[in-house]
A and B are shown apart, each in its own frame.
Chain A
Amino acid sequence: MTKAGKEELSGGQSRGIGGPVEWAMADTFSAKLANIVLPEAGGKQVRLGSLWETGPAALVFLRHYG
């Protein structure tokens, strides 16, 4: 991600407005989240990055369960 790209990502379309972006650097959201392991409701441990390792993934952060 270029410096300009990061600024755009931080203050532009990604903040609340939303929209297509494409970045592939170490400080992308996907890179920051990739190594986090969370338990799935069924009990299985899931490394988040495994969801988009071989294909795209939509990941939704719920405001709360509801």
Chain B
Amino acid sequence: MREHEAQFKQAGANLAAVGLGDMNYARLFREETGIAFPLMVDEDRAAYQAAELKSENLLHLLRRDNAAARARAKAAGHRQHRLGQNPFQLGASFVFGPGNRDLFVHISRTFGDNADPQALLSVLRCEASQ
């Protein structure tokens, strides 16, 4: 997502991330990755639970789609940083609008199942044009 930060700004949207772990972990991650957007710490999983995000298990690592996702990430130059508080926690991507409108929702089913940033940007551009 960090590669697309400027595009999100151009689309007139705030971009923010939520992660597990503690403040030191988050600061370190921020320094390592160079992200400029807000990175929030959800040590108690309050936001993850509110968003109904699940955790998976070790067997998911063996899934064929995960192997493909790892290969894609490696080919794109991404690297694995330190594992967080719960390496089995699944993520999600949302676009929300004023008035608590859900404009885009992607909840990961397995580890490599991430939303395409272009899909989020497309929704934001559509929202901006209205």
A→B interface (CB under 8 Å): 9, 13-26, 28-34, 36, 38-43, 46, 48-49, 51-66
Distance A38 CA – B26 CA, assembled complex (angstroms): 12
Top-3 shortest CB links A-B = A18-B106, A64-B84, A66-B81
In the complex, the answer to whether A16 meets B108 with C-beta atoms within 8 Å is yes
Rounded to whole angstroms, the CA-CA distance of A16 and B83 in the bound complex is 22
Complex-state Cα separation, A33 to B121, whole angstroms: 21
The interface on chain B, measured as residues whose beta carbon lies within 8 A of the other chain's beta carbons, has a size of 74
Q: B90 contacts which chain A residues (CB < 8 A)?
A: 63
B57 close to chain A: CB less than 8 A: no
Give the number of A-B contacts (CB < 8 Å). 216
Bound complex: CA of A5 vs CA of B116, how far in Å?
Answer: 24
* Complex CA distance for A58 and B122, rounded to whole angstroms: 12
| CB–CB A56/B94 < 8 A | no
**Inside 8 A of B92's CB, which chain A residues have their CB?**
60-61
Q: A48 — nearest CB in chain B belongs to which residue?
A: B47
Would A65 and B47 be within 8 Å (CB), given that A55-B13, A56-B13, A57-B95 are in contact? no
Evaluate contact between B96 and A15: CB separation under 8 angstroms. Answer: no
Assess whether A55 is in contact with B14, with CB atoms less than 8 Å apart. yes
Q: Give 22 pairs: A residue, B residue, CB < 8 Å, sorted on A.
A: A9-B102, A20-B104, A21-B105, A28-B100, A29-B51, A38-B18, A40-B38, A41-B23, A41-B26, A41-B39, A41-B40, A52-B96, A55-B97, A56-B95, A57-B14, A58-B1, A58-B13, A58-B124, A60-B15, A61-B51, A62-B17, A63-B111
Judge whether A60 and B93 touch: CB under 8 Å: yes
Pick the contact of B40: A22, A34, A38, A66 (CB < 8 A). A38
Cα distance A22–B103 in the bound complex, in angstroms: 5
